[in-house]
Amino acid sequence: MNQHMRPEPVPFIDIAAQRRRLGKTIDEAVARVLAHCQFINGPEVTALEAALAKFSGARHVVSCASGTDALLMVLMAKQVGPGDAVLCPSFTFCATGEAVALTGATPVFVDVDEATFNIDAGSLTRGIATARHRGLKPRAVIPVDLFGQSADHDAIAAIAASEGLFVLDDAAQGFGASYQGRRLGTFGLATATSFFPAKPLGCFGDGGAIFTDDDGLAETLRSIRVHGQGADKYDNVRLGLTGRLDTIQAAVLIEKLKIFEDEIAARNAVAARYSRGLGNLVTVPRLAPGCTSVWAQYTIRLPQGVDRDGFAAALKAQGIPTAIYYTRSMHQQTAYRDFPVADGGLPVSERLSNDVISLPMHAYLDAPTQARIIEAVRGALSA
C-alpha cells in the first residue's frame, strides 16, 4: 500500500451489507405496502406482531413508534406518575430514565455489575431504600439488557416480588438474547424493545415493540397507542400517544426477522474472534452463566493508564472507528443530575464511563477485517 494512502475505512455497523443480502425481498415487501396504501395499521403490522410473539414466546406483542415509547406506554398504562420512584441503572442509554421522568415519576439510579455492566442486585436493594427514605413510592424497576446481554432476571424478579415492584425489561439492545434458556420478552410484567436501525433487529427508521403475557395490559397498551381510544373511537378513555409503528417499517421487519437468528449466530462468532484475539490485552466482555448476548456492542475496557482518546485516535488513523457508550452515566448528565442515586453511590458506572470503548460489531464483519482491527488494537496499546 502506498504510504500516502489512508487505509480503507471499516464501517462501525454495516447496514448496507445486510441490505445487499436481503436484496429484492425487502424492495418487494415495501412495494406491496406502496401498492395497498394501508400505511397505518396495515396487514403487515398484525403479521409482524404475530411473528414476534412466536419468536419471543410472549403472549402479546404491541408494536409501537420507538423503544422510548415502548417504555413510556407501559409506565402510562400502569399509571406511574408524580410521587412514584422507578429504579433503573445509570449506565445505560438516556431513554431508560427519560421515559420515567416524562411520566412525572422520579428515576432513582442504581449501579451496575463490574463484569456484566448490568444492574447490580445489591445496589437495586439500596436504591429502593433510598427512594423510601425520600418519601417516594417505589413502583417499578427497569433492568436493561445492556450491549445485548440479558440481565440477571431471577435476582431482579426476587427483589421486585419482595418489594412489590413490577419489572419492565428494557431489551432495546438485547432483543433476541436469552436468559436461562428463555428468550427476552418473557421476563417481568413487560419488555420493551427498539427497532432503531443500529439495534440488533432494526428497521429503516424508528420503531419499537412491547411484549407481555398480561391480557389487560396488552389491551390498555393498544388504546394508549392510539390516543387512549376506547371502544367508541370518538370517546377517548385515557391519555395516549400517536404511538403506532408504520406499516412500511413492519414490512421491513418481517423480512429482517427471517434472518435474525442467523445474524445472531454471526454476531456471536464475531464476538468470539475478538475475545480470542484481545483477551490477553484488554478486559473483554464476559457473559454471566445462563445469559446469552446478541452483541449490540462489543465493549472492551482499557488497562489502567491507557489514554482512551489517544487509543481511539490511533485506531481512527488506521480507518477503524470506535464509539464510547457511555462517556457519562445518566446521573452525570445535566438533565438527570438532580435525581436520586442509590445509597453508596454509583462507583462502577462512573469507572465504566471512564474506561469503556466499543469496537465495530455487526453480523457481516469478516475474519480478515477483524484481524486488521485486532492488529490495530494491539499496535495502539503497544505505542
Ligand X SMILES: *Cc1c(COP(=O)(O)O)cnc(C)c1O
Nearer to ligand X, 191 or 370 (CB): 191
Q: Which stretch binds ligand X (CB under 6 A): 13-21, 92-100, 158-166, 263-271?
A: 92-100
Which regions of 4-112 does DSSP assign to beta strands (E)? 60-64, 84-89, 106-110
Q: Whole-angstrom Cα distance, residue 166 to residue 86?
A: 10
Q: Whole-angstrom Cα distance, residue 171 to residue 191?
A: 6
Q: At what angle do helices 367-382 and 308-317 cross, to 10 degrees?
A: 130
Rounded to 5°, angle at Cα 260 from 63 and 34? 55
The answer to the question of residue 173 lying near ligand X (CB under 6 A) is yes
The least distance separating ligand X from the CB of residue 171, rounded to whole angstroms, comes to: 8
Count residues near ligand X (CB under 6 A). Answer: 15
Q: Whole-angstrom Cα distance, residue 278 to residue 281?
A: 5
Q: Which stretch binds ligand X (CB under 6 A): 30-38, 45-53, 89-97, 107-115?
A: 89-97
**Burial level of 105, CB count in 10 A (0-12/13-18/19+)?**
buried
The answer to the question of residue 208 lying near ligand X (CB under 6 A) is yes
- For the segment 120-149, give every residue that binds ligand X (CB under 6 A): 144
Report the residue from 166, 179, 187, 196 that binds ligand X according to the rule CB under 6 A. 196
The answer to the question of residue 349 lying near ligand X (CB under 6 A) is no
The answer to the question of residue 67 lying near ligand X (CB under 6 A) is yes
Q: Which residue is nearest to ligand X (CB)?
A: 67
Nearer to ligand X, 93 or 311 (CB): 93
Give one DSSP letter per residue of 85-105, joined into a string.
EEEEESSS-THHHHHHHHTT-
Chain center to CA of 298: 13
Q: Which stretch binds ligand X (CB under 6 A): 16-24, 168-176, 231-239, 287-295?
A: 168-176
The least distance separating ligand X from the CB of residue 237, rounded to whole angstroms, comes to: 26
Nearer to ligand X, 200 or 380 (CB): 200
Strands 178-179 and 182-183, bridge-based pairing: antiparallel
The answer to the question of residue 96 lying near ligand X (CB under 6 A) is yes
The answer to the question of residue 336 lying near ligand X (CB under 6 A) is no
In the numeric block, which cell numbers belong to residue 55?
419468536
Q: Buried (b) or exposed (e) across 342-358, using 16+ Cβ within 10 A?
A: beeebebbbebbebbbb
Report the residue from 92, 118, 123, 358 that binds ligand X according to the rule CB under 6 A. 92
Taking the C-alpha atoms of 83, 64, 227 and 89 in order, what is their torsion angle to the nearest 10 degrees?
10
Nearer to ligand X, 88 or 254 (CB): 88
Q: Which stretch binds ligand X (CB under 6 A): 22-30, 66-74, 234-242, 274-282?
A: 66-74
Chain center to CA of 141: 15
The least distance separating ligand X from the CB of residue 207, rounded to whole angstroms, comes to: 7
The answer to the question of residue 103 lying near ligand X (CB under 6 A) is no
Question: Residues 184, 175: contact at Cβ < 8 Å?
Answer: yes
The least distance separating ligand X from the CB of residue 62, rounded to whole angstroms, comes to: 14
Nearer to ligand X, 107 or 208 (CB): 208
Q: Three-state SS for 226? A: strand
Report the residue from 120, 170, 246, 263 that binds ligand X according to the rule CB under 6 A. 170
The answer to the question of residue 150 lying near ligand X (CB under 6 A) is no
The answer to the question of residue 211 lying near ligand X (CB under 6 A) is no
Q: Whole-angstrom Cα distance, residue 113 to residue 145?
A: 12
Q: Which residues bind ligand X (CB under 6 A)?
A: 66-68, 92-93, 95-96, 144, 170, 172-173, 194, 196, 206, 208
